[in-house]
Chains A and B, each alone.
Chain A
Amino acid sequence: MSTYSLDARRLLCPMPVIKAQNRVAELHPGDILEVICTDPGARNDIPAWCRINGHRVLEIREQDRDIIVLLEVGHDD
């Protein structure tokens, strides 16, 4: 299991979702991906995308203007 980070700042939805989707496709089940966004839409869209594609959101937190979504890659994609 490894942890990775993806900078999706200044991208507007759905681009953070697309970037996360494409990055997850390269990772393995159990890997952790930290997605750093600035678009508030990502707060809803990335979890929605995770739910329908079998990944798990571990944490969503805000840090200054950034929204950080921590997700665990599932076995289903």
Chain B
Amino acid sequence: MSKIQRKAVALISGGLDSMLAVRVIQDQGIHVEGINFYTGFCVEGHTHAIRRHDRDKKKRNNALWVAEQLGIKLHIIDVIEEYKDVLLTPKHGYGANLNPCLDCKSFMVGKAVAWMQEKNFDFIITGEVLGQRPMSQRRDTLPVVARESGAHDLLLRPLCAKLMPPTTPELEGWVDRERLHGFNGRSRKPQIALARHYNIEEYAQPAGGCCFLTDASYSHKLTDLWQARQHRDYELDDIMLLKVGRHIRPNPDFKLIIGREEGENNFLEGYRYRFTYLRPSDCNGALVLVDGKPSELDLNLAARITARFCKNRDLSRVKISVTPLGEATRELEVEPLAPENIPGTWYL
């Protein structure tokens, strides 16, 4: 009687841990395919594509790269809309910033459960390591992910399985528990040793750092957005724009998004028809979008700040073209605002 070919779906972040988890399970003859979720807050890819000085950096999607190294298919799923609930109302709260790590992991494993059922796969694997993360990878929270995702005993963590109760793939003999691992804690040494064992020499940053929500500055800008709009919600364009440019909020009614270089200006160009925008008339300088409802006085201040970030900033008067949303372009001649007159508290 031929043995049934068991199939596992792996959550692929693009980091080393998920890469190793797949390799460990592939070693046991399991067919593995990868799944990767795009929330809109993922760091890689676009962040390196916008700024001109980053253009020479190697541009690759790490999840795709990992899948190619492993020889597995990768399915990238857009979860931008569904993810709003996770971020806006996390049952288990946030980590150090706006990162809802525990809810996020449960959500993603839950999506993998649905995918597994639809595609007739047998179980799910992740690269989680007991004790590695303060919120989602603790002894008391790993079972929460298994339970709340609906995966229960079909969720196998090959890198720390020996420290956890046996799961269905182990109990049913689909995988040999003895050939799994018992990694524990924040040290990366066991992973690095295992990578060496598999001759994996190149990999992305060791786990984490792949989500803007763990970043204090980004979280501050998102909080500011919600405060200014007086409701907690967002669209994809909102969270993209938080990744680009200088953000300066002179008062609660408006903020400025100021391109820092050519690449960012080009990116902001694509948005200018949806915002009031300003740019210098007679010289090079930043394209500036105005988010909010600026008064005439606010527009004058916005023009002075725009002048501050143009080539002619040292002149006494600078011409700035102002295009209020849905109105004709007009020109203001203003004195560039001196750096000392832009309080640090305005910078988000």
- Residues of A with Cβ closer than 8 Å to B? 10, 12-15, 17-18, 21, 39-41, 43-45, 48-49, 51-53, 77
Contacts and interface: CB of A to CB of B under 8 A. Distances in A.
B215 to A, nearest CB: 17
Given A39-B46, A41-B61, A51-B68, 14 more contacts: A12-B49, A12-B240, A14-B45, A14-B61, A17-B61, A18-B76, A39-B45, A40-B49, A41-B46, A44-B61, A45-B59, A45-B64, A52-B72, A52-B73
Given A17-B64, A52-B64, A41 B49 contact: yes
Nearest to A22: B78
20 contacts: A12-B45, A14-B42, A14-B61, A15-B38, A17-B61, A18-B38, A18-B76, A18-B77, A21-B76, A39-B45, A40-B55, A41-B59, A41-B61, A44-B59, A45-B61, A48-B64, A48-B68, A51-B68, A52-B68, A77-B73
B75 interface: yes
A45 B60 CA distance: 6
B115 to A, nearest CB: 14
Contacts of B240: 12
A63 B74 CA distance: 29
A15 to B, nearest CB: 7
B202 to A, nearest CB: 15
The 5 closest A-B pairs by CB, nearest first: A12-B46, A13-B45, A48-B64, A41-B49, A41-B59
B67 interface: yes
Interface in B53-69: 55, 59-61, 63-65, 67-68
Given A12-B240, A40-B49, A45-B45, A17 B76 contact: yes
B78 A48 contact: no
Contacts of B50: 12
Contacts of B270: 10
Which applies to chain B's interface (DSSP): helix, strand, loop or mixed? mixed
B65 A53 contact: no
B31 interface: no
B49 A48 contact: no
B59 A49 contact: no
A23 B68 CA distance: 21
B48 interface: yes
Contacts of A39: 45-46, 49
A51 B61 CA distance: 14
B78 A18 contact: yes
A14 B38 contact: yes
Contact of A41 (B45, B63, B67, B78): B45
Contacts of B76: 14, 17-18, 21, 49
Q: Which of B38, B59, B72 has the most CB of A within 10 A?
A: B59
